[in-house]
Structure 1
Amino acid sequence: MTRCRLCGSEAMASVVDLGATPPCESFLAADRLDQPEPAYPLHLRVCTDCWLAQIPPLITPEETFKEYAYFSSFSTSWVEHARTFVADAVERAELGADAFVVEVASNDGYLLKHVVDRDIRCLGIEPSVNVGAAARDAGVPTLTEFLSPETGAAVRAEHGPANLVVANNVYAHIPDVIGFTQGLRALVADDGWVSIEVQHLLTLIEENQYDTIYHEHFQYYTVASAIRALASGGLTLVDVELLPTHGGSIRLWARPAETAGEPSQAVTDVLAREKAAGLQELSGYTEFSARVAKVRRDLLRFLIEAADRGETVVGYGAPGKGNTLLNHCGIRPDLLAYTVDRNPYKHGRYTPGTRIPILAPEQIAADKPDYVLVLPWNLRAELVEQLAFVHEWGGRLVFPIPELSVVEAASSKEVTA
């Protein structure tokens, strides 16, 4: 990468180099196991002019999202998060019966179904054919398309301007951040609201969340870099919320620049936290690579010692972030016999690169392993409850991030590290 995709600067500094991995959602069918897999460098850098952290756009969104393995509705806590958001957004944006809501990257309708339930007109814009079809089956109007300035203008011409545009967990997934932001501006009414949820680079760095670096995520935002990205499309940040989702996210509330007004105190406060953490100078990034290496060593040491003792370790979940972790650590079926996932789409497939089988969740109760390695660690509270049955035979849960911890499934009481 020679230039920043936001400001065009060539002043790019290395943050962490994770080697080369396959795309994190390219789960393998059994008949592909003897075929080669492409792997791409996964090297995070930060622009020292605008401080946008980013990886090179080595794969395109079209390659990833036309057929997508992630269905948001399989996470109970995420559906509840969406329901709460809709209730709050209706109040903030004063959405009445004549309002219009658009969600970009609307997945399987997990969020907009709550808008439908309120009899508010809405539209999802979702590029993945398979999950978009699931949304329509659930009664959520959905357009199969990527957002661009042209798409935004076409939707506005057909349906009218949106009082609220939602873009949750997509602002990191597009390499053309300027064109995407222009698309958001094309959708939203001149007095409307744009709500964006995206992982916060501050918590990624502070909590060693390096497994959230993968080829689907082209950039990683602070509030400071998000302000500049929003401005590239004619939007102004007016408020920010700190969220626990995905290990630590920011909800950005933006409005068209000409009507935005002054930002809230929360914006000023978070900017100050980022500056205090050194994220607007190289000092905030220099130790991250060493802390990532320690996560890898600690997890491998635990798995190897468990194998030497004759103990069994299986995985829970097959999220994209898990594949970054598995590939970076070089974990294979000799150390992790299999993983399970609630999404039937993944059953019978294998994790990219590491070739670990993905089975149905019922397999854990059948096999009674000694340890369950939880790959979607960001859902810790939800999964400790879901996996409480592991305690029945003395099994324990293992969380690799932010540091290795082994807990009793029934209580989430940490017992070793």
Structure 2
Amino acid sequence: MTRCRLCGSEAMTSVVDLGATPPCESFLAADQLDQPEPAYPLHLRVCTDCWLAQIPPLITPEETFTQYAYFSSYSTSWVEHARTFVADAVRRLALGPDSFVVEVASNDGYLLSHVVDRGIRCLGIEPSVNVGAAARDAGVPTLTRFLDPATGADVRAEHGPADLVVANNVYAHIPDVVGFTRGLRALVADDGWVSIEVQHLLTLIEENQYDTIYHEHFQYYTVASAIRALASGGLALVDVELLPTHGGSIRLWARPSEVAGEPSRRVTDVLDREKAAGLQELSGYTEFSARVAKVRRDLLKFLVEAAERGETVVGYGAPGKGNTLLNHCGIRPDLLPYTVDRNPYKHGRFTPGTRIPVLPPERIAADKPDYVLVLPWNLRAELVEQLSYVGDWGGRLVFPIPELSIVEVASGRVTA
């Protein structure tokens, strides 16, 4: 990567190099195991002019999102998060029967279903054919397209401007951040609102959340860099909320620049936190690579020592972040014979790169392993409750990030 995709600067500095891995959602079928598997460099850099952290666009969104293995509705906590957001947005913006809500990257309708239930007109824009079909089956109107300025203009011409445009966990997934932002502006009414949720680079750095770096995530935002990205498309940040989702996210409330006015005190407070953490100078990034290396060493040491003691360790979950972790650590079926996932789309498939089988969740209770390595660590509270049955035979849960911890499920007490 020679130039920043936001400002065009060549002032790019390495943050962490995770080697080369396959795309994190390219799960393998059994008949693909003897075929070559492409891997791409995974190297995070930061632009020291606009401070947008980013990886090179080595794969296209079309390669990843035309058919997609992730269905949001399989996460109980994520569906509840969406329900709460819709209820709050309806109150905040006084949305009603005459309003129009558009969600970009609407997945399987997990969020807009709550809008439909309230009798509010809505439309999902979802590029993945399979998950978009699931949304339509659930009664959520969904257009199968990628968002760009032309798509935004077409939707506006056919359906009218949107009072609220929602873009949750997609602003990092598009390499053309300027074109995507202009698409958001084309969708939203001149006096409307845009709500964006995206992982916060501040918590990624502070909490060693390096497994959220993968090829689908082209950029990693602070509030400061998000302000610059929004401005590139004619939007201005009005307010920000700090969220616990995905280990720490920001919800950006933006409006067309002409009507935005001054940002809230919360925007100023978060900008001050980012500056204090050194994220607008190189000092905030220099130690990250060393802390990432320690996560790898600690997890491998645990798995190797458990194997030498004759103890069994299996995985829970097959998220994209888990595949970054597994590949970076070099974990194979000799140390983790399988992982399980609630999403039946992944059953009978194998994790990219590491070739670990993905099985139904019931396999854990059948095998009664000594340890369950939880790969979607961001759902810790939800999964400690869901996996409480592991304690019935004395099994324990292992969380690898932000540092290795072993949880006795019966008491919830961290023992290591």
Distance 2:345 2:6 in 1: 36
- TM-score, normalised to structure 2's length? 1.00
SS at match of 1:259: coil
**For 1:204-258, what per-residue CA distance to the aligned partner results, in whole angstroms no more than 9, with x for missing partners?**
0000000000000000000000000000000000000000000000000000000
Shift of 1:96: 1.7
Shift of 1:75: 0.1
Report the equivalent of 1:99. Answer: 99
Distance 1:226 1:98 in 2: 31
- Indicate if the aligned counterparts of 1:385 and 1:410 stay in contact, CA closer than 8 A: no
Shift of 1:336: 0.4
**For 1:97-126, what per-residue CA distance to the aligned partner results, in whole angstroms no more than 9, with x for missing partners?**
100000000000000000000000000000
Distance 1:187 1:89 in 2: 18
Distance 1:59 1:93 in 2: 37
Report the equivalent of 1:358. Answer: 358
Shift of 1:94: 1.5
- Indicate if the aligned counterparts of 1:150 and 1:183 stay in contact, CA closer than 8 A: yes
Distance 1:412 1:380 in 2: 11
SS at match of 2:31: helix
Distance 2:411 2:183 in 1: 46
**For 1:329-364, what per-residue CA distance to the aligned partner results, in whole angstroms no more than 9, with x for missing partners?**
000000001000000000000000000000000000
Shift of 1:91: 1.2
- Indicate if the aligned counterparts of 2:408 and 2:415 stay in contact, CA closer than 8 A: no
- Indicate if the aligned counterparts of 1:384 and 1:411 stay in contact, CA closer than 8 A: no
Distance 1:16 1:137 in 2: 42
Distance 2:223 2:165 in 1: 19
Report the equivalent of 2:270. Answer: 270
**For 1:20-72, what per-residue CA distance to the aligned partner results, in whole angstroms no more than 9, with x for missing partners?**
00000000000000001000000000000000000000000000000000000
Report the equivalent of 2:415. Answer: 416
Distance 1:97 1:262 in 2: 30
Shift of 1:410: 2.7
Structure 1: stretches of 5+ with no match in the other structure = none
Shift of 1:377: 0.0
**For 1:67-104, what per-residue CA distance to the aligned partner results, in whole angstroms no more than 9, with x for missing partners?**
00000000000000000000011111111210000000
SS at match of 1:58: coil
SS at match of 2:237: strand
**How do 1:8-407 and structure 2 match up within 5 A?**
8-407=8-407
Shift of 1:416: 3.0
Distance 1:93 1:180 in 2: 24
- TM-score, normalised to structure 1's length? 0.99
Distance 1:233 1:366 in 2: 53
Shift of 1:411: 3.1
- Indicate if the aligned counterparts of 2:396 and 2:406 stay in contact, CA closer than 8 A: yes
- Indicate if the aligned counterparts of 1:52 and 1:222 stay in contact, CA closer than 8 A: yes
Distance 1:304 1:61 in 2: 37
- Indicate if the aligned counterparts of 1:4 and 1:10 stay in contact, CA closer than 8 A: yes
Distance 1:276 1:46 in 2: 17
Matched residues, number = 416
Structure 2: stretches of 5+ with no match in the other structure = none
**Ranges of 4+ aligned residues in structure 1 off by more than 6 Å:** none
Distance 1:256 1:90 in 2: 19
- Indicate if the aligned counterparts of 1:317 and 1:376 stay in contact, CA closer than 8 A: yes
SS at match of 1:124: strand
Distance 2:409 2:378 in 1: 16
Distance 1:306 1:256 in 2: 55
Distance 1:265 1:316 in 2: 40
- Indicate if the aligned counterparts of 2:227 and 2:237 stay in contact, CA closer than 8 A: yes
SS at match of 1:241: strand
Q: Taking every aligned residue pair, what percent have the same amino acid on both sides? A: 90
- Indicate if the aligned counterparts of 1:93 and 1:192 stay in contact, CA closer than 8 A: no
Distance 2:103 2:412 in 1: 35
SS at match of 1:41: strand
Distance 1:407 1:71 in 2: 28
SS at match of 2:269: helix
Distance 2:134 2:352 in 1: 25
SS at match of 2:91: helix
- Indicate if the aligned counterparts of 2:316 and 2:375 stay in contact, CA closer than 8 A: yes
**For 1:360-403, what per-residue CA distance to the aligned partner results, in whole angstroms no more than 9, with x for missing partners?**
00000000000000000000000000000000000000000000
Distance 2:385 2:88 in 1: 27
